[in-house]
Amino acid sequence: MIIIPAIDLKDGRCVRLRQGDMNAETVYSDDPVMMATQWEAQGAQRLHLVDLNGAVDGNPHHLNEIQTIVSTLRIPVEVGGGIRDLSTISTYLDMGVQWVILGTTAVMQPSIVQEACTRFPHHIIISLDVKDGYVASQGWLEQSTVTPRDVLNTLADCALAAVVFTDISRDGMKTGPNIDAIRDITVATNIPLIVSGGVSGIDDLRALKFKVPSITGVIVGKALYDGNLDLQNALEVLNPTFSSQPDSSTQLP
């Protein structure tokens, strides 16, 4: 299980939101590239980028910032937010993004996900952002009547790299991950699972590793930025063989 620091981009800055509310932001840096290099220097094996403006508007807003981050880092990067067509997917992959994350598209236009997996196998991740049992879309502003299992069943034959599961009610709240919901997803699919939402510190990471050992990674944001979780310490605790030197050859699902 790896820890994946998150950088949420809004208006060119690194922010964190509370439960996805665009009006409830905390700004952590005006320099997302510096923040990205900081996480790499501390031993991150992978970085999670989200274009928040893009997620709401349906088209990328931070291509330049993301291009600079990808060009600067040696570790792989995954990107989500506002990616709704094959052209945008291709743009990100061509600039060196390793994995493109599709959320709204997976719910509203699964055929695009299916085509993307055919053209770019194992470079597509779907994001299941869930509230009250149903998947949200449009930057979490709209709630569908589709369950996570519905989405997974529709895309069962796709060459997906991973699934990101986020419990919206816990995102940015540091109240602990939703272990029961995460277990349900692991039962529903054999696709590598990355979880997000609610991590408050090292004890939550230990609980995930012990109770849901099959998960591939955990995306962490607010706990890192607020200092409740030290990335290097967490990596050493969870992975005794951890080295702070990034390995650009690491291939992760």
pLDDT tens-digit profile of 159-191? 999 999 988 866 555 677 889 889 989 988 999
Q: Could you tell me which of 197, 114, 94 has the C-alpha nearest to residue 102?
A: 114
Residues 93-140 pLDDT 10s: 999 999 999 988 998 899 999 999 999 999 999 999 888 778 876 555
Region class of 174: left (phi > 0), else alpha (psi between -120 and 50), else beta? left
Q: Do 231 and 224 form a contact (C-beta atoms < 8 A)?
A: yes
Residue 144: per-residue pLDDT: 65
Q: What is the pLDDT of residue 250?
A: 43
Write the DSSP string, 136-177. Answer: EETTTTEE-S--HHHHHHHTTTS--SEEEEEEGGGTTT-S--
**DSSP string of 190-244, one letter each residue:** -S-EEEES---SHHHHHHHHHH-TT--EEEE-HHHHTTSS-HHHHHHHH-TT--S
- Token pair of 185 as six digits: 């997803």
Say yes or no to pLDDT of 142 above 80.
no
Q: What's the confidence (pLDDT) of residue 130?
A: 87
pLDDT of 55-72, one tens digit each?
888 899 999 999 999 999
Tokens coding 144: 């569908």
Q: What is the structure's pLDDT at 167?
A: 83
Domain parsing of the chain, residue ranges: 2-234
Residues designated as active site: 8, 129
25: left (phi over 0), alpha (psi -120 to 50) or beta: beta
Query: Which ranges of 15-161 does DSSP label H, i.e. alpha helix?
Result: 32-41, 52-57, 63-72, 86-94, 104-108, 110-119, 148-154
Cα angle vertex 22, ends 218, 103, to 5°? 50
Residues β-bridged to residue 102: 126
What residue type is 70 in one-letter code? Answer: V
- For residues 125, 231, 250 and 192, what is the CA-based torsion angle, rounded to 10 degrees? -30
Which of 249 and 243 is assigned the larger pLDDT? Answer: 243
The predicted model scores a pTM of: 0.88
Q: Are strands 99-102 and 77-80 parallel, antiparallel or unpaired?
A: parallel
pLDDT in tens, 72-96: 999 999 999 999 999 999 999 999 9
The CATH class of the 2-234 domain is: alpha beta
Distances (CA, A) of 186 to 137, 201, 211: 22, 23, 12
pLDDT at residue 64 in the model: 95
Distance (Å, whole) CA 185 – CA 93: 27
How confident is the model over 28-41, as a mean pLDDT?
Answer: 95
Spell out the residues 6+ positions from residue 172 whose beta carbon is closer than 8 angstroms to its own: 16, 17, 18, 19, 20, 197, 221, 222
pLDDT, one tens digit per residue, over 177-234 is 889 889 989 988 999 999 988 899 999 999 999 999 999 999 999 899 999 999 998 9
